[in-house]
Amino acid sequence: MPLNLPDKLPAIELLKEENIFVIDNSRATQQDIRPLRIVILNLMPLKITTETDLIRLLSNTPLQVEISFMKIKSHTSKNTPIEHMKTFYTDFDKMRDEKYDGMIITGAPVEQMDFEEVTYWDEITGIFDWARTHVTSTLYICWAAQAGLYHHYGIPKYSLDAKMFGIFEHRTLQPLYPIFRGFDDVFYVPHSRHTEVRKEDILKVPELTLLSESEDAGVYMVMARNGREFFVTGHSEYSPLTLDTEYRRDLSKGLPIRMPRNYYVDDDPDKGVLVRWRAHANLLFSNWLNYFVYQETPFNIEEIK
């Protein structure tokens, strides 16, 4: 089934070029199907890039999915045209009475600040709390994962000596769990962060289940509330060139940045990128949609609580 997206969203044409089947709202209303309602709180600075990355992965299932984009009032994006935000994003205050089958909350470029120093901390923690009674399953990514673990369970974050930057090998701790259906014994995930959460803190909280970790990158996936919350520290949604763009951007600014590990062919940027995480990323999002959204959400969406 296709994705049901807002009319004229830039990602539609970008994904059609990749032969990904998407339809806009006008066509979707002609189909007599109750689609899964997914809301995305996109905190990344390059909104259109992140939209496209996430929609690409959400499209890889036989389920029809209706996508909405949420924004917060206490922060104005400086890297996305205001016309795009006005056209495709809705303030949380106007969505708070709605219910959704699934929610994705992205990372944000504020991880080196204390949580309470983030200007929109009060607003976003209010959204975290709202999601618990208005969403069947919420997927927290990167900084949002750290923020959600801290807000709900008191898990601290720690600064790293050097940026965790590259593609890292991971293993599952509970390989028979449905979120890992179809996974290989070893899988790869991009990481790009200056902070971390630690295994010993996770294991102290009985409400949390550590599902996956990396010898090099540490904690990767944590689950709570029987799958109503997933906290993912990496960026499985990244496109092949995202880390390359970040690396070259920081180099051009004279910032201290190491070459992303395990990323370029023969560790040579001129030889291009070796993509090793695409299959895992598609499985992660399709398993989440299938086993923790579609199979758990009530047909009458108002029954979510």
**Residue position matching structure tokens 């969505």:** 95
To the query of whether residue 66 is one of the catalytic residues in this protein, the response is no
Question: Given 134, 142, 213, 280, which residue is catalytic?
Answer: 142
Provide φ and ψ at 101, rounded to 5°.
-70, -40
151: CB partners within 8 A, 6+ apart? 115, 125, 128
Question: Given 134, 152, 191, 235, which residue is catalytic?
Answer: 235
SS3 readout for the chain: CCEEECCCCHHHHHHHCCCCCEEEHHHHCCCCCCCEEEEEECCCCCHHHHHHHHHHHHCCCCCCEEEEEEECCCCCCCCCCHHHHHHHEEEHHHCCCCCEEEEEECCCCCCCCCHHHCCCHHHHHHHHHHHHHHEEEEEEECHHHHHHHHHHHCCCCEEEEEEEEEEEEEEECCCCCHHHCCCCCEEEEEEEEEEECCHHHHHCCCCEEEEEEECCCEEEEEEEHHHCEEEECCCCCCCCCHHHHHHHHHHHCCCCCCCCECCEHHHCHHHCECCCCHHHHHHHHHHHHHHHHHCCCCCCHHHCC
Angle at which helix 143-153 crosses helix 121-134, to 10 degrees, equals 80
Question: Given 111, 229, 237, 280, which residue is catalytic?
Answer: 237
To the query of whether residue 152 is one of the catalytic residues in this protein, the response is no
To the query of whether residue 235 is one of the catalytic residues in this protein, the response is yes
Residues carrying an active site annotation? 142, 235, 237
